[in-house]
Amino acid sequence: MGRVGVLLLNLGGPDQLKDVRPFLFNLFSDPEIIRLPFPWLQKPLAWLISTKRAKISQENYKQIGGGSPLRKITDAQAQALQEHLQTKGQEVSVYVGMRYWHPFTEEAIATIKADGIERLVILPLYPQFSISTSGSSFRLLENLWTEDPDLSKIEHTVIPSWYQQPQYLQAMADLIAQELDKFSNPDQVHIFFSAHGVPISYVTEAGDPYQQEIEDCTALIMKTLNRPNPHTLAYQSRVGPVEWLQPYTEDALQELGAKNTQDLLVVPISFVSEHIETLQEIDIEYREIAEESGIKQFERVPALNTHPLFIESLTTLVVDALESPSRELSEVIRPPETVKIYPPERWEWGMTTAAEVWNGRLAMIGFIALLLELISGTGPLHFAGLL
C-alpha cells in the first residue's frame, strides 16, 4: 500500500498574544467565514476587523493563559492516534494541518510530500460537516492539488463528517454521565448542548448540512446517554450583522433561567478540543449570563481532547477509510447534493432571505467605506464637505 499518512484538519489558534491579530486576519480573509459579493474587498475587510477586534480578543486570550491551547492538544491527539494505529498493525504517520495558524495546512502538505507519503487519509477534527470548517479546508486542499501536479501522485481519501461514529458517541455520553453524577440530583440537571453557529443563509441558500448534522448528533448522544434529563440545543459565537442559526446560546440560557432552571450542564458539541470558545466564551461569558439569569449550578463537560475512547473512534475511522474505496476531494466539495462551497450568488428583489442577506452585505460595505474614510481622512464624503 506504500507509505500511509493521516492529515488531521483543525482551525488553529494564536499561540501568543502577538499572534492574535494576524490569526484574526487569516480567519476573516477566508470567504467561507465572511462571504462578500466583491472578492477584492475580502482582505481590506479582514484587516479592518482584525485590527478592530485584536485588543478585545487579546483580553479574552489573557483570561485563558495568554494563548490558545489548540495546537498543543491537537499535536497530542495526533501522537495518540499514531500510537494507537500502531497497536492495530497500521504503520501510519499522522500530520496536523491548521487552517488559520501554524502549522498551516500548506506546511503539513509540504511535509507529507517530503516524507514520500503515497496514500493519505484526510480527517477533519470537526464531527459535523460545515462549509465554513471542513468545507473551507477541503477547498484549500483542492486548490493545492490543482496547483501542484506532484500531489496527484498521492492517493487520498476524505472523511467528510463522522458524528455518527459509535465510539465517539459513547465517549461523549461517558463524559456527560461523569459530570451529571457530580450533581446532587443528576436526573434533574438540564443538559445544554452549545454548538458553534453559522449564518442561516449557509443552510437555507448554500445547502450546508451542518444544522441537520448537529441536531442528529445531539439526538444520538442523548440516545447513547440513556438518561431522563431534559436537554436544549443552542448556537454560540455569532459575529456580524446577518442572522445566524438560532436559538442563540445567550438567549437560551436566559430563557432557562426565567423558567427557574437550577442545575445546568453545558456540552460543547461541535468542539473536540479545549480552546477559546470553551475556556473563555462558555466558562466565563456564558457562566456569567447563566448566573445572572438565576441558574444556581453551572457546569461544563470537558472537551474530548485525548479521551481514550475518542482516540479509538479516530483510529476506527482511519482503518475503515483505508479499507474502503477512496473518496476524493472533488467528490466532497462538489457532491451530487446542493452543498455550495462559496457559490456565485445572484441578486434577488423583494422580501426574500437572499435579498435580506444582500441588504445586510451592502449595509456592511457602506459602513466599512465610511470607517475607511474616517480613518484615512479622504474620500467622496470629505470632498462633498459632508465630513
Residue 366 pLDDT: 55
pLDDT band at 297 (very low <50, low <70, confident <90, very high): very high
Given phi > 0 = left and psi -120 to 50 = alpha, else beta, which region is 305? Answer: left
Round to whole Å and give the CA distance between 107 and 160: 21
Residue 340 pLDDT: 61
Residue 217 pLDDT: 98
Residue 331 pLDDT: 85
Residues listed for the chain: 387
Q: Is 281 annotated as a binding residue?
A: no
pLDDT band at 364 (very low <50, low <70, confident <90, very high): low
Task: Encode pLDDT of 327-345 as tens digits.
Answer: 989 888 755 455 665 443 3
The stretch 174-193 carries a mean pLDDT of: 98
> DSSP of 222-244, one letter per residue?
HHHHT----EEEEEE---SSS-B
The stretch 284-288 carries a mean pLDDT of: 98
Task: Encode pLDDT of 14-71 as tens digits.
Answer: 999 999 999 999 999 998 888 787 888 899 999 999 999 999 999 999 999 999 999 9
Residue 344 pLDDT: 39
pLDDT band at 240 (very low <50, low <70, confident <90, very high): confident
Round to whole Å and give the CA distance between 115 and 164: 32
Residue 384 pLDDT: 41
Q: What percent of the chain stands above pLDDT 90?
A: 79
Residue 381 pLDDT: 45
CATH 3.40.50.620 applies to domain 2-161+305-329: no
Q: Do the domains spanning 2-161+305-329 and 183-298 agree at the CATH topology level?
A: yes
Residue 38 pLDDT: 80
Residues 182-197: b if buried by 16+ CB within 10 A, e if exposed: ebeebeebbbbbbbbb
Task: Encode pLDDT of 274-285 as tens digits.
Answer: 999 999 999 999
Tell me which of 24-33, 302-311, 360-369 is least confident: 360-369
Q: What percent of the chain stands above pLDDT 70?
A: 86
CATH 3.40.50.1400 applies to domain 183-298: yes
pLDDT at 248 over 50: yes
The amino acid present at 369, given as its one-letter code, is A
Residue 164 pLDDT: 98
If you average pLDDT over every residue of the chain, what do you get?
Answer: 89
The stretch 243-269 carries a mean pLDDT of: 97
Task: Encode pLDDT of 104-163 as tens digits.
Answer: 999 999 999 999 999 999 999 999 999 999 999 999 999 999 999 999 999 999 999 999
Q: Is 285 annotated as a binding residue?
A: no
Nearest to 61 by CA among 236, 282, 272, 280: 280
pLDDT band at 348 (very low <50, low <70, confident <90, very high): very low
The stretch 82-109 carries a mean pLDDT of: 97
Nearest to 192 by CA among 271, 253, 273: 253
pTM of the complete model:
0.87
Q: Report whether 167 contacts 310 (CB < 8 A).
A: yes
Integer CA distances (angstroms), 235 to 69, 102, 249, in order: 22, 27, 5
Q: Where are the domains of the chain?
A: 2-161+305-329, 183-298
